[in-house]
C-alpha cells in the first residue's frame, strides 16, 4: 500500500508542514515511484529575480489539492508512491556548481521526478540526468520563450539557453522537440531560424487559440510517438492574468485551463520526468501563479502515476 497525503478530512489543510500536497517526505517511506523535488535557484535569470522562492510557494499552494484526478481518472497517490524529496541545495553564487549539484542530486533520486523551480536554467541538468537513464528524450516545452538562445552577456548557462545547450550535448531527440505557447517580441528573425535548425517545431500561443486544443494535442502526440518524453513547463507560458508571479511575463498567453487540457492530452505518452519553473512569488497576487503551478505539478504527477500498474 502506498502512503498518501495527510487526510484533509481529519487534519485541516492549513495545519502542519507544507510538503507538496501534504505528501510524506522521502525519508518517511521505503521507496518512491515519483518524487516532487524543489530547486530554489534563480541565478540564471535575465530580468526579475525571485524564482528561488518558487518551491516554497508552490508547496504552500498545493495544500488544497485533493487525492482523485477526475480528468485522468486516477488517484495518483494511491496508484504510485509519491513523495516530497525536499529541495536540492544549489549554490546561488556559482551557476556551474549549481548545475552540477542539480544533476548529481537528480541522478541519486531513484524515482521519476517532478521538479519545482527555480529558473529555467535547471532544465539542463535535469535533462542530462534523464538522458543518462533513457538516452536522448523527446521534449514538450511549454513557455512564452524559446530558451534556445546562445548566450547572455557571454554566459552560456542561463534561463534563456538551456535547450540550445541540451541539443548541443546530444541529450534531446531532435526528431521530437516542441515548444508550445511561444509569443512575444524576439531579438530578431534569426532566433526562429536558429530554433528550427536545432530541430524544434513551434506551436505558438496563437496556434493554441486558432488551431484549437485537439489539433495541438495531435501534433504533440505525433511528434513524441513512443519515445521517452520530458515535459518542461515554464509558468510564463500562461498569460500574466493567469500567472503574474514570474520573472519575464509576456502578454497574450495561454489560460491555465488550456495548459491543463493539453497536459491531459498527453496521457499515455511515455513521460519520464518533468519540471515546473519560473514561479516568482514576490510578483504574485492571491497565490494565482503558485496555485496554477501546483495544479500543473499535480497533473504531471497524474500522468506519471497512470503509467504505474494498477495496484
Ligand X SMILES: N=C(N)NCCCC(=O)O
Q: Which residues bind Zn ion (CB under 5 A)?
A: 120, 143-145, 147, 234, 236
Residue 179's binding partner among Zn ion, ligand X, none (Cβ under 5 to 8 angstroms by kind) is: none
Count of residues interacting with ligand X (CB under 6 A): 11
120 binds ligand X (CB under 6 A): yes
Q: What are phi and psi of 243, to 5 degrees?
A: -155, 70
Tell me the closest approach of the beta carbon of residue 278 to ligand X, in angstroms: 5
Residue 47's binding partner among ligand X, Zn ion, none (Cβ under 5 to 8 angstroms by kind) is: ligand X
Is 218 known to sit in a ligand binding site?
Answer: no
161 binds ligand X (CB under 6 A): no
Q: Whose Cβ is closer to Zn ion: residue 25's or residue 152's?
A: 152
Is 270 known to sit in a ligand binding site?
Answer: no
| N residues, the chain | 311
Q: 64-81 in b/e burial notation, b at 16+ Cβ within 10 A?
A: ebeeebeebebbbbbbbb
Residues 138-157 that bind ligand X (CB under 6 A): 145, 147
Query: Do 264 and 70 meet the contact criterion of CB atoms below 8 Å apart?
Result: no
160 binds ligand X (CB under 6 A): yes
Is 27 known to sit in a ligand binding site?
Answer: no
Residue closest to 266 by CA, chosen among 142, 125, 82, 110 = 142
- Beta partners for residue 220, in sequence order: none
Tell me the closest approach of the beta carbon of residue 239 to Zn ion, in angstroms: 12
Is 179 known to sit in a ligand binding site?
Answer: no
Is 143 known to sit in a ligand binding site?
Answer: yes
Torsion sign (Cα): 289, 78, 74, 309? positive
Is 33 known to sit in a ligand binding site?
Answer: no
Residue 46's binding partner among ligand X, Zn ion, none (Cβ under 5 to 8 angstroms by kind) is: ligand X
Residue 14's binding partner among Zn ion, ligand X, none (Cβ under 5 to 8 angstroms by kind) is: none
179 binds ligand X (CB under 6 A): no
Tell me the closest approach of the beta carbon of residue 236 to ligand X, in angstroms: 5
Q: Whose Cβ is closer to ligand X: residue 236's or residue 299's?
A: 236
Q: Which of 248, 256, 289, 290 binds ligand X (CB under 6 A)?
A: 248
Give the x-and-dash track for 254-283 against ligand X (CB under 6 A).
Answer: ------------------------x-----
Tell me the closest approach of the beta carbon of residue 240 to ligand X, in angstroms: 13
Residue 84's binding partner among ligand X, Zn ion, none (Cβ under 5 to 8 angstroms by kind) is: none
Tell me the closest approach of the beta carbon of residue 46 to Zn ion, in angstroms: 10
Residues at the binding site for Mn(2+) are 120, 143, 145, 147, 234, 236
Residues of this chain that bind ligand X (CB under 6 A) = 46-47, 120, 145, 147, 159-160, 234, 236, 248, 278
Amino acid at each position: 500500500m502506498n502512503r498518501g497525503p495527510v487526510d484533509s478530512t481529519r487534519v485541516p489543510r492549513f495545519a502542519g508542514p507544507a510538503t507538496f500536497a501534504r505528501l510524506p517526505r522521502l525519508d518517511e517511506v521505503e521507496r518512491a515511484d515519483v518524487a516532487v523535488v524543489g530547486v530554489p535557484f534563480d541565478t540564471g535569470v535575465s530580468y526579475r529575480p525571485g524564482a528561488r522562492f518558487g518551491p516554497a510557494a508552490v508547496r504552500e499552494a498545493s495544500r488544497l489539492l485533493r487525492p482523485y484526478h477526475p480528468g485522468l481518472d486516477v488517484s495518483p497517490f494511491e496508484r504510485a508512491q509519491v513523495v516530497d524529496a525536499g529541495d536540492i541545495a544549489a549554490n546561488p553564487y556559482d551557476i556551474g556548481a549549481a548545475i552540477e549539484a542539480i544533476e548529481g542530486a537528480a541522478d541519486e533520486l531513484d524515482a521519476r521526478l517532478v521538479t519545482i523551480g527555480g529558473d529555467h536554467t535547471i532544465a539542463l541538468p535535469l535533462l542530462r540526468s534523464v538522458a543518462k537513464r533513457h538516452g536522448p528524450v523527446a521534449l514538450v516545452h511549454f513557455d512564452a520563450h524559446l530558451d534556445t538562445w546562445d548566450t547572455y552577456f557571454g554566459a552560456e548557462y542561463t534561463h534563456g539557453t538551456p535547450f540550445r545547450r541540451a541539443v548541443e550535448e546530444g541529450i534531446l531527440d531532435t526528431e521530437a522537440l516542441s515548444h508550445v505557447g511561444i509569443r512575444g517580441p524576439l531579438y530578431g528573425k534569426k532566433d526562429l531560424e536558429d530554433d528550427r535548425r536545432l530541430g524544434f517545431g513551434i506551436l505558438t500561443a496563437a496556434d493554441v487559440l486558432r488551431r484549437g486544443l485537439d489539433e495541438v494535442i495531435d501534433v504533440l502526440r505525433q511528434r513524441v510517438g513512443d519515445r521517452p518524453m520530458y515535459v518542461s513547463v515554464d509558468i510564463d507560458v500562461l498569460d500574466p492574468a493567469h500567472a503574474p508571479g514570474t520573472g519575464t511575463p509576456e502578454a497574450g498567453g495561454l489560460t491555465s485551463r488550456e495548459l491543463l487540457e493539453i497536459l491531459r492530452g498527453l496521457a499515455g505518452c511515455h513521460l519520464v520526468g518533468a519540471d515546473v519553473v519560473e514561479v516568482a512569488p514576490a510578483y504574485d497576487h492571491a497565490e494565482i501563479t503558485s496555485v496554477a503551478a501546483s495544479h500543473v505539478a499535480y497533473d504531471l504527477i497524474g500522468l506519471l502515476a497512470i503509467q504505474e500498474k494498477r495496484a
